[in-house]
Amino acid sequence: MDPISQGAVAAVVAQQPAKFKNILVVTVLGFLSGMAPDLDIFIRSSSDPLLTLEFHRQFTHSLLFIPIGGFVCGVFFYNLFAKRFGLNFLSTYYICTLGYATHGFLDACTSYGTQLLWPFSNDRISWNTISIIDPVFTIPILLLIVLYVYKKNKIFCRLALAWIMLYILFGHVQHERAKNILEDIAISRDHKIIRAEVKPSFGNIIVWKIIYSTKNSFYVDAVKLGYKTKFYEGSKIDKLSIKDAFPWLDYSSQQAKDIDRFRWFSNEFIALDEKFKNRIIDIRYSMLPNEIKGLWGIELDELANSDSHVTYVFNRERNLDKIKKLFKMIKE
């Protein structure tokens, strides 16, 4: 999830056992430690653009790394400022570990995927219950944090924790509703589902993207899950056939290996971009939930040598009109 949300949730968890006299320091420690696992975004390579995809949300987000990450944060923040405000190292380590521990779990609630079980498994766990960015989730938490620090009334941090748990729980309920609708849609089309995924659209848990695959195609639609449900029909796209799309590709080349790496990252929801003939997109993400216009993808080069990597690309289209359409879908 976005760094501010991560820090806010971590601060709330760190606040629960805190004493009034050091509540501001505890809040800051929890907030910063909750964002710390995302420092893995600095693991980059100028020659390998997919390295970041492999290492982001990997070891720094795993359950096994929590006490290590908490210790690193504890040492750093204790010497940076915590000891000057009267906290001993054990208290600092405890608070930092609480904050650090929330990060992987919150990321697993999104659709991006998190390697919680690394190094025992490289599966990207994603429960698809909340969006990667959701101001409706985050803003109330931030307000309650400020109120607790200012008023020093425990009710505010408890309300914040309750809001976090209830929102994620409601996201799970919405997820199950979306799954049921996806199955009904596939049955109505006489389709046999091979693979399926439902995920909230950007910034809310009301409008959901529903994706499923048949033998040869992916189908992408959207549904609004309010008091009444509303279905938004989308479109379909053929599954990627490497042989047909890239007859020139050497399967032992680095570009072929990069396709497999991108397939793993995208949970196999990949297709050939309809606009760019050498571009493979992740169909799970688009600005409008019922469209197939990947926000990112990889681009192959027919003239590249066997050791060359693919290029990682982003969709550069202006999305203001699509954001307006999404808001309209939410409000309808």
> Is pLDDT above 90 for 114?
yes
Q: Quick one: average pLDDT of 224-247?
A: 95
Task: Supply the DSSP symbol for 17.
Answer: T
> Is pLDDT above 90 for 263?
yes
Could you tell me the pTM of the whole model?
Answer: 0.93
pLDDT score, position 316: 72
pLDDT score, position 63: 97
pLDDT score, position 142: 98
∠175-177-182 over CA atoms, to 5°?
95
- Backbone torsions φ then ψ of 103, nearest 5 degrees: -60, -55
pLDDT score, position 20: 62
> Is pLDDT above 90 for 111?
no
Query: Whole-number mean pLDDT of the chain?
Result: 95
pLDDT score, position 65: 97
% of the chain at pLDDT higher than 90? 91
Higher pLDDT, 167 or 321: 167
Q: How confident is the model at residue 167 (pLDDT cuts 50, 70, 90)?
A: very high
**Closest CA relative to residue 2, chosen from 48, 29, 28, 34:** 34
Q: Quick one: average pLDDT of 284-299?
A: 93
> Is pLDDT above 90 for 317?
no
For 16-64, the pLDDT digits (tens) are 987 767 899 999 999 999 999 999 999 999 899 999 999 999 999 999 9
